[in-house]
Structure 1
Amino acid sequence: MARKFTNLQTDLLRTFVTVVDLRNYTETGRILGRTQPAISLQIKRLEEITGKKLLAQQGKQVELTPDGQTLLGYAREMLRLNDRAVANLQQASILGTLRVGLPVDYAIEYFQSIITRFARENPAVQLDIRCNRSPDLLSALHVDDLDMTIAITDSMPAPHVSVYWSEHPVWVCARDHRIDPDQPLKVVAHPNGCFYRKRMIDALNTEGRDWRISFESLGVSALQKAVLDGMGVTALTKKTLLPGMRLLSPGEGFPNLANIHVGLFYKHVKMSDAALKLIEKITEDVSTFRLPTRARTK
């Protein structure tokens, strides 16, 4: 017997993703040009097709169920591919202004190079690049002050994430750096609120090890230089390790650190053709060094 396939209609998926982004049926109807009852019926239809409860009302807010979270990443990707296919077939002009956030607490140079190539290939697009801490970038996206951002979060999945991957931080110091066991450990770190910093301090406190912050900076480049200058130890990911650094092991008193999570975040309802093309480029390039995980629960 031939397998029966279930087709997910893009108009239903677009309504679903928009409700998730806006957390409101009425606002979704306004954006998509439909009434609030029509939006509710579309969500009900999608739930009937999937056989799963996708959204739940929590007071005045609409929240994802676990099954809704599973569908969300696929829905964003299906809509992105649909919209890019239509734009290419219609030979849409790739122009406009894009406000893009890049995290100073991650491999910012890597993503700058992707965006630089995109800018050369699409000279009609005006780029507004903003570099900041991940929490600040996500806050800016939430209030529509950014169109998209790369950011670090403490856990995944997270609101508005399209593609995400995990990185394993490792302890590092300068190759010839000597650690005095009789003195508090000198730690090089981002300011409070940084996920690397929290992982280092939690690990050291669990071990009962004395420590102090010897150097603090927002940017990862400054931390890298401070480590190479022998100012202390820090946690970095493999993309931010530099020649002249050495790894520190649990046997030396440096316990394993929990993963951090990096993602590409955007609100699909607000995406222009130019934004979708840049998202496609970032997604393709990310897959070359780290297999991305769709925004779904395990």
Structure 2
Amino acid sequence: MMRKFTNLQTDLLRTFVTVVDLRNYTETGNVLGRTQPAISLQVKRLEEIAGVKLLRHEGKKVELTPNGQALLGYAREILRLNDRAVANLQQAAFYGTLRVGLPVDYSIEYFQSIIAEFSHNNPDVTLDIRCDRSVDLLSALHVDDLDLTIALTDTMSAPHVSVYWSERPVWACSRDYKIDPTQPLKLIAHPNGCFYRRRMIEALDTEGRDWRVSFESLGISALQKAVLDGMGVTALTRKTMQPGMRILTQSDGFPNLSRIHVGLFYKHIKMSDAALKLIEKITEDISTFRIPTRTRAETLKERH
């Protein structure tokens, strides 16, 4: 028996993604050149094709249903591929200014290398790079001060995320660092609000272990140097471990840390051809180490 295919039309997906990004049917109509009733009809048509409810209304707010959240990532990817295909076929020139956010609390050097290669291959694109805390980068994207950003969040999925993955931070100290069990543990940490800091403190408090912050800095390079200088222990991802460091495990008396979630965030409706090309480059490169975020059931099973 021949399989029946369901085709999700790109114009309907574009309307859906734009409504999600703008959280407003009227603004979506203004951006896409349609009336508000036409936008409503397109959303309903997409829901009919998909066979599920995608959006719900809470007062004047437009919110995603669980099925809508599940579709959103695929929709962004379908639109990105569609628009990149059209740009390639039309041999679009890549130019303009891109405002890109990079988190100081993640593998910033890795993403700097990706962006530097993109800049070298696309000299007509001007890049404005902002390095900051993830929470501030996401706020800047929300008010359109950034075109795209890499950022950490506590939960996934989050608004405007395209690609996301999770990593479990590890406890790290210098190779020869000696821990005095009779003294509070010395922590090297980012300022309050950092996801790594929160995970370290939660893990230690759960264990009833005394601690104090001995070194605090916004930048990850300063934290790495403090670790190598033997000023305490910190939490890092394996990509940010450096020669001269060692990982502390449960056998050393250090509990597992909760996973962090990392994503590539952007508003599709704001994307130029140059931005889509950079997003494609980032997406291709992170696929080499991306680990899918675990489900809640898998996480609970692991903990037990």
TM-score normalized with structure 2 length: 0.95
Distance 1:37 1:205 in 2: 53
Q: Which gives a bigger RCO, structure 1 or 2 (Cα 8 Å, sep 6+)?
A: 1
Distance 2:289 2:162 in 1: 17
Counterparts of 1:229-268 in structure 2 under 5 Å? Answer: 229-268=229-268
Partner residue, 1:196? 196
Q: Specify the SS of the correspondent of 1:145.
A: coil
**1:161–1:266 Cα contact (<8 Å) kept:** yes
Shift of 1:251: 2.4
**1:163–1:292 Cα contact (<8 Å) kept:** no
1:210 aligns with 2:210: yes
**2:166–2:291 Cα contact (<8 Å) kept:** no
**1:169–1:260 Cα contact (<8 Å) kept:** yes
Partner residue, 1:6? 6
Partner residue, 1:287? 287
Shift of 1:85: 0.4
Q: Specify the SS of the correspondent of 1:226.
A: helix
1:96 aligns with 2:71: no
Measured against aligned partners, the alpha-carbon deviations of 1:153-185 in whole angstroms (never above 9, x if no partner) come to 011110000000111100011110011111110
**2:53–2:65 Cα contact (<8 Å) kept:** yes
Shift of 1:240: 0.3
**1:95–1:274 Cα contact (<8 Å) kept:** yes
Distance 2:123 2:49 in 1: 43
Partner residue, 2:23? 23
Distance 1:152 1:289 in 2: 16
Partner residue, 1:76? 76
Distance 1:180 1:289 in 2: 36
Q: In percent, how many aligned pairs have the same letter?
A: 81
Q: Specify the SS of the correspondent of 1:206.
A: helix
TM-score normalized with structure 1 length: 0.97
Measured against aligned partners, the alpha-carbon deviations of 1:125-172 in whole angstroms (never above 9, x if no partner) come to 000000000000000000000000000001111000000011110001
Distance 2:151 2:59 in 1: 29
**2:13–2:79 Cα contact (<8 Å) kept:** yes
* Paired amino acid for 2:258: A
Counterparts of 1:45-84 in structure 2 under 5 Å? Answer: 45-84=45-84
Shift of 1:115: 0.4
Partner residue, 2:301? none
Q: Specify the SS of the correspondent of 1:62.
A: strand
Measured against aligned partners, the alpha-carbon deviations of 1:78-127 in whole angstroms (never above 9, x if no partner) come to 00000000001111110000000000000100000000000011000000
1:134 aligns with 2:125: no
**1:286–1:292 Cα contact (<8 Å) kept:** no
Gap runs ≥5 in structure 2: 299-304
Measured against aligned partners, the alpha-carbon deviations of 1:196-219 in whole angstroms (never above 9, x if no partner) come to 000000000000000000000011
Measured against aligned partners, the alpha-carbon deviations of 1:232-290 in whole angstroms (never above 9, x if no partner) come to 00000011001111111112221000100110000000000000000000000001122
* Paired amino acid for 2:174: A
* Paired amino acid for 1:100: V
Distance 2:219 2:122 in 1: 29
Distance 2:278 2:249 in 1: 39
Partner residue, 1:270? 270
Partner residue, 1:116? 116
Partner residue, 1:178? 178
Partner residue, 2:302? none
Distance 1:289 1:183 in 2: 38
Shift of 1:60: 1.1
Distance 2:252 2:194 in 1: 24
**1:73–1:163 Cα contact (<8 Å) kept:** yes
Distance 1:191 1:216 in 2: 6
Distance 1:173 1:59 in 2: 51
* Paired amino acid for 1:206: T
Shift of 1:292: 5.7
Measured against aligned partners, the alpha-carbon deviations of 1:43-76 in whole angstroms (never above 9, x if no partner) come to 0000000000000001111000000001000000
Q: How many residues align?
A: 295
